[in-house]
Structure 1
Amino acid sequence: MKLWKGRFSKAENSLAEEFNASIEFDQRLYKQDITGSIAHARMLGKQGIIDKEEALAIESSLLEILKDIEDGKIEFTIEQEDIHMNIESILTERLGPLGKKLHTARSRNDQVAVDIRLYLKDEINHVVELLEELKQTLVTLAKEHQDTVMPGYTHLQRAQPVTLAFYLMAYWEMFHRDVRRFRFCYETTNTLPLGSGALAGTTYNTDRDFLADELGFDRLCDNAMDAVSDRDFAIEFISSCSIAMMHLSRFCEELIIWSSTEFQFIEMDDGYSTGSSIMPQKKNPDMAELIRGKTGRVYGDLMTLLTLMKGLPLAYNKDMQEDKLPVFDAGDTLKSSLAIFIQMITTMKVNVQIMEKAAKSGFMNATDAADYLVSKGLAFRDCHEIIGRMVLYCIENGKAIEELTMEELKGFSEKFEKDIYEKIDIRSCIKAKKSKGSTSFESVEQMLAAKS
């Protein structure tokens, strides 16, 4: 029987009832819903809105319902629409009229708002734990590859030599900013809506500060209408998920390229690869490709919620029932992607010699050759032109810069001396970087010491 049946003269159409129900997906909020209800019952008893004994009886029954749900003894029904009314209905079946007192001084509007905030606080903490694990994994890998030289790229063209440790720590910085975004999102979410009623507050002498303490919220929503009618904190959560997935996707794109026969920089572990149904030689980086693909799915979750909210008048509208699916999906997708990504990069093999060989081709010491001429007193733009002509000469004659004779070098500038060969050695190019945050071995050592 519907808990709101009093106003209606006939039963809800069966198709409409099924269409209206959200229990299929919002049942995962059962623990948050019961937690919020227990705090509400305690507050009602403390304030004398119901007898303290009644509050204790309600709390005891709710704890029994929680255990029965987790033991698989309870089946929810679409007749009661959502997790909130399902639990209240079960409570009323067990306690009789006393169960109906629980909903005093609250609305489903503030009830669902507190449930989703409680859920997201736990979800954010879990995501942050995974991101911190990933950051530590990157530090561990970087320490193993402080001496591994590889090409750095712009436009996917070989640009300047770097170390793999430096490359990995670039992603560490991105994931660190993701952690900061989620922590800020936690602060936004950590505001209590419970006690706001449907939109305008309540006539009962409630204690919302008590509710905040009971449920672990730092502050109260100051405006009851805002408390129940916005989901910006959920949008912020999915936005943070989207940015973190973007970082994972970029990393995966590079791993996919690096694992190709053309690059051969890395080899994925068999446990995180798949084969072909027709080509027996294939070893496909499917886990990385799936993470790259799932990124678009999380972007879709973000657009779903943004579009859902963009035209809603204050306060609550039934459209907002659809807020949970994108929130659940974005969080689930990010968590699973992080978990598999951590294992994938932990087990991959790095082909150190192939990386270094690649770093020694493609004229990646050209900038250092130009800087050498600058140190001899020439303007950088002139040096840029000289080295550009030198590279063209090398291409036409099938040589690397370091293979040019002193006579050939002098043909481009009389400023070249024998010490040029040391300056354009690949490891010397890396070592020579002096700016903070550079790829130099010393700089990366400092990065790792600070991030460990």
Structure 2
Amino acid sequence: MAAKKTARKTAKSKTGKSWHGRLTAEADTATARLLASLDVDHALWKYDIAGSLAHAKMLREIEVLSAAEYAKIKAGLLGVARAIEAGRVDMPIELEDIHMVIESALIKRIGPAGGKLHTGRSRNDQVALDLRLWARDATAGLVEGIAELQQAFVGLARRQGKVVMPAYTHLQRAQPIVAGHAMLAYVEMLQRDADRLADAAVRINVCPLGSGAVAGTSLPLDRARTAELLGFPKFTRNSIDATSDRDFLAELCFCCAMLGVHLSRWAEDWIIYSSTEFGLVELHDAYCTSSSMMPQKKNADTLELIRGKSASGIAQLVGMLTLMKGLPLAYDRDMQDDKRFAFQAVKDMQSVLAVAPGIVASASLGEEKIAADIDAGFLDATALAEYLVNKGVPFRKAHGLVGRLVAQAEAQNLTLLELPMQTLQKACPKITPDVKQHLGPANVVKRYVPEGAGGAKQLDQQLRYWKRKLG
């Protein structure tokens, strides 16, 4: 009985949907909400207008539109754009998406000529176009944000890069490095993110318009012209794939997820390094918070939130891939939710990149704390083993000898540099007094040889490289 009552309620069709000629029943409110995507895809309105302007111009050039019709449509679209920007366009959920909102507003503004705009076009290729235009801008914006963060790390490396600090493996002190080497490690990670986005942009930058719903159209559309007008170097080759492809969004989500992981690793490092126990990094107060109860607290909350955003990036990627994995060709309505995943992934990374450069640019290294603790942890043990190698001792044997010397020094609360020469020579007669020039973190970083190592000489080389690369 309830079902019949609902059917009677929805028997009238007044929505003016693009498919109202086929269906006569109107969706109830709950169904309309399910069908609608305006809460998300309204963000595409500028791209939808741009695509429509190009499509209209091409239709005029192939004489599907008269000069008067084209002039009306162009002026109308620009007027709709201004109205949307001013918040003066109604977006009822009955119209479902931004494409129909714009078309409806256009027809209201200019009359029947507005109904000709959709000639040779489906919402399937229309939304594919809008998403590619959006993704193209999104990738460019992320690359710019990454470059700004890279510059901040390079700046810190220039300011305090020659400070000798520990490098860690397993979160245990490993070998000494100059601090700039650690800063530039993040720059390298971020460069891979920028390169990955630039590579993804190649596959994003393909025009799907003209593919129609699934099989193209019998109208003589000039796809090359539309692509040219929209700044695409080429157009898609297969209408089925063009309307159902969301690889480019999944790839963008992956780029965001990987960027988020890199930013999370940096945030984790600095959360630890800024703690009292480490004291390697001092964060500016503007990027910290305190406690509602404990007045002494200085919490690295911005870094913790950046670390947390990586979870969202990974989640959006998994959501996108899961959404697409079982869809038959070609377009399916499931894909309406692709925007939720892609938009959120990009939004999260944009929010992080808006803050991260300031965190780095305003931070400083705790030079006094670093210097006070630098001799702890036998950071020069590997250097001593390599000293023995240069004296002709096989590395594996040298490794064992130094391990025993470390144990002796630890038992006596001494550094390797402080061990008596008699003790060193008893362990290995090949050790001579020149060993003192090889021990101690400051000496070790001077002796790194290969390019890409953690010494001062290599830092200078790397800074010159990044100056050329980043400007």
TM-score by length of 2: 0.95
Q: Quick one: which amino acid aligns to residue 425 of structure 1? A: G
- The separation in 2 between residues aligned to 1:9 and 1:219, in whole angstroms, is 40
Q: Which aligned pairs between 1:136-215 and structure 2 lie closer than 5 A?
A: 136-215=151-230
- The separation in 2 between residues aligned to 1:283 and 1:353, in whole angstroms, is 19
| Residue 109 of structure 1 pairs with residue 136 of structure 2 | no
Which residues of structure 1 form unaligned runs of 5+?
A: none
Deviations 1:207-256 (A, max 9, x none): 00000010011111100000000100000001001111111000000100
| Residue 28 of structure 1 pairs with residue 43 of structure 2 | yes
Q: Which aligned pairs between 1:235-384 and structure 2 lie closer than 5 A?
A: 235-384=250-399
Q: Quick one: which amino acid aligns to residue 432 of structure 2? A: E
CA contact (8 A) 1:190 1:217 kept: yes
Which residues of structure 2 form unaligned runs of 5+?
A: 1-14
Q: Quick one: which amino acid aligns to residue 204 of structure 1? A: L
- The separation in 1 between residues aligned to 2:362 and 2:119, in whole angstroms, is 55
- The equivalent position to 2:33 in structure 1, one of 12, 18, 23, is 18
Q: Quick one: which amino acid aligns to residue 152 of structure 2? A: T
CA contact (8 A) 2:89 2:105 kept: no
Deviations 1:335-394 (A, max 9, x none): 110121111111123211212333321001001111111111111111101001111111
Q: Which aligned pairs between 1:17-166 and structure 2 lie closer than 5 A?
A: 17-166=32-181
Aligned length: 452
Which residue of structure 1 aligns with residue 233 of structure 2? 218
Q: Quick one: which amino acid aligns to residue 194 of structure 2? A: V
- TM-superposed CA distance for 1:446, in Å, is 0.6
- TM-superposed CA distance for 1:52, in Å, is 2.3
Q: Quick one: which amino acid aligns to residue 293 of structure 2? A: I
CA contact (8 A) 1:151 1:358 kept: no
Deviations 1:230-289 (A, max 9, x none): 100000001001111111000000100011111111221111101111111111000000
Deviations 1:186-223 (A, max 9, x none): 11100000000001010001100000010011111100
CA contact (8 A) 2:49 2:77 kept: yes
Which residue of structure 1 aligns with residue 435 of structure 2? 420
Q: Quick one: which amino acid aligns to residue 388 of structure 2? A: L
- The separation in 2 between residues aligned to 1:238 and 1:58, in whole angstroms, is 35
The percentage of counterpart residues that share the same residue type is 42
- The separation in 2 between residues aligned to 1:357 and 1:233, in whole angstroms, is 51
Runs of 4+ in 1 over 4 A off after TM superposition: none
**What SS does the aligned partner of 2:302 have?**
helix
**What SS does the aligned partner of 1:401 have?**
coil
Which residue of structure 1 aligns with residue 4 of structure 2? none
- The separation in 1 between residues aligned to 2:144 and 2:375, in whole angstroms, is 39
Which residue of structure 1 aligns with residue 8 of structure 2? none
- The separation in 1 between residues aligned to 2:271 and 2:310, in whole angstroms, is 15
Which residue of structure 1 aligns with residue 10 of structure 2? none
